[in-house]
Amino acid sequence: MALPGTKEDFPFDEQTLVFKVKGKMYALSDVDSFESINLKCDPERALQLRALYEEVKPGYHMNKKHWNTVQMRGELEDKLIEELIHHSYDLVVAKLPQKDRKDLTAGN
């Protein structure tokens, strides 16, 4: 929620919490179990992360080229998880119209 313009939503059901920026998803997770989090990822980097970490899988119920599911078993460092969340957010923001990107940097 600390990332500029982030809003929470439950567009699918009462368990799947979705984080959006300017209406575009960048993260989602089950609020009851929090066993994993789906994050957008650069396709090449997604493959690298899956090869390096057993906890990183192709995105569950998502476009597997652009999304990873990161399992929250306590084996990945918090710093890496935070970096992956920021990466997902940054990918979505980069695709926003220029006006929306400016709104984010202006604090709206």
DSSP for residue 30: E
Query: Which CATH number does 6-105 carry?
Result: 3.90.1150.30
pTM of the model: 0.92
H or E segment and range at residue 70 = strand 67-71
Mean pLDDT in the chain? 93
| Residue 92 burial (CB count, 10 A) | 21
pLDDT confidence of 108, banded at 50, 70, 90?
low
Cα 49 from Cα 99, distance rounded (Å): 32
Q: Report the share of the chain in percent with pLDDT over 90.
A: 83
Domain boundaries, the chain: 6-105
Q: What are the pLDDT digits (tens) for 77-106? A: 999 999 999 999 999 999 999 999 988 887
Q: What are the pLDDT digits (tens) for 50-69? A: 999 999 999 988 999 999 99
Q: 83 exposed, middle or buried (CB, 10 Å; 0-12, 13-18, 19+)?
A: exposed
